[in-house]
Amino acid sequence: MADDGPAWRKLFSDEYGPRNFPDTKGGAAWAASSECLRGLLQRQYDGEFRLRLILRESVDFRSHPSRDPNWKGDYDWGPDLALCCAEVWIERKNGRRKRVDTMSTRPRPW
């Protein structure tokens, strides 16, 4: 089966996350992050590439007692626009990756 679409482009939270923008006013970093994502998603929509969001356990995993490293809801992806990427994957600390954008419930351990 041939993959006829545009090339894939990996996207990490380091490229667009609110923590990357100075927040001189409340919410400025979030707004800048959203604008960055809008630009990338527009380029995806225009067919320049397909975005594959990679949520990394070592960087984006939230800290709370009942967190699950296999569940995308326990990761900090920034603005919800990030979930509009063509694919969303989780990368565990051991380097293994799994596609999670199609999951609607918590997965079994992998």
> Structural domain of residue 60, as residue ranges?
8-99
Residue 107 lies in a domain: no
Residue 18 lies in a domain: yes
Total-model pTM: 0.83
Residue 106 lies in a domain: no
- The whole-number pLDDT of residue 108 equals 62
**What are the CA-CA distances from residue 6 to residues 12, 47, 51, 67, 71 (Å)?**
19, 6, 10, 35, 28
- The whole-number pLDDT of residue 86 equals 94
Residue 2 lies in a domain: no
Residue 3 lies in a domain: no
Domain count, the chain: 1
Residue 105 lies in a domain: no
**What are the CA-CA distances from residue 100 to residues 20, 26, 35, 79, 86 (Å)?**
25, 32, 24, 17, 11
Residue 14 lies in a domain: yes
Regions of the chain with pLDDT less than 50:
1
- The whole-number pLDDT of residue 106 equals 63
Residue 109 lies in a domain: no
